[in-house]
Structure 1
Amino acid sequence: MGKRTIVKKIVFTCHALNKIKILSNHKIFVDKNLITKIITKPDIIESGYKDRLVVQGRLDDNHVLRIVYEESDKEIKIITMYPGRRSRYEKD
């Protein structure tokens, strides 16, 4: 038999949903599908504050989206996200 993939439920906090709206007001268009894609296949994974994880994926040639989340046995809770310059977060 093949490998079994377990998919956790992804939950967005009110703050995270509000942040999506705030970013769109600044012409940075992020949606739940993009966030889910970055969570499942991140370019970078780092440890964050209070045992949270920070993952990162590309937005465009110059920018990345960093997503802060908490993970339990049952779900992934998106706390917040923020854009950043690739030059700041990607080291060669």
Structure 2
Amino acid sequence: MEIFWTKHAQEKFEILEKQGFMIKRELVEKTLKLAELIDNSQFPLLVAQKSIDEKHILKVVFKKEGGIIKIITFYPMRKK
């Protein structure tokens, strides 16, 4: 399946790096492919979630359009 990155999603790497989070493109794509949870409560937007370390999860907001996954944004969060 093809992945399309919005301009915001592409810029998000630099934004997070300035805040001390080094998130790589591969980790975002891995979160989509191996999500521990996919929230569809905001359909058509979907949110994939995966643990990235003991204290944090990564959430990836995306939309499926035909055979394309469109990544809107992503962000790390502390585990509850």
Question: In 2, Cα distance between the equivalents of 1:19 and 1:26?
Answer: 11
Structure 1 runs of 4+ off > 6 angstroms?
none
Residues 49-64 of structure 1 mapped to structure 2, 5 A cutoff: 49-64=42-57
> How much does 1:47 deviate?
1.2
Aligned residues with identical type, % of pairs: 31
> Higher helix fraction: Structure 1 or Structure 2?
1
Question: In 2, Cα distance between the equivalents of 1:82 and 1:11?
Answer: 17
Residues 46-85 of structure 1 mapped to structure 2, 5 A cutoff: 46-85=39-78
Counterpart amino acid of residue 76 in structure 2: P
> How much does 1:59 deviate?
1.8
Residues 20-42 of structure 1: per-residue CA shift (max 9 Å, x gap): 11001111111111111110010
Whether the aligned pair in 2 keeps the contact of 1:11 and 1:77 (CA below 8 Å) is yes
> Number of residues paired by the alignment?
80
Q: Which has the higher contact order (CA 8 A, sep 6+)?
A: 2
Higher radius of gyration, 1 or 2 = 1
Whether the aligned pair in 2 keeps the contact of 1:63 and 1:84 (CA below 8 Å) is yes
Distance 1:13 1:48, change over 3 A: farther
Tell me whether 1:18 sits opposite 2:49 in the alignment: no
Across the aligned residues of Structure 1 and Structure 2, the Cα RMSD in angstroms comes to 1.1
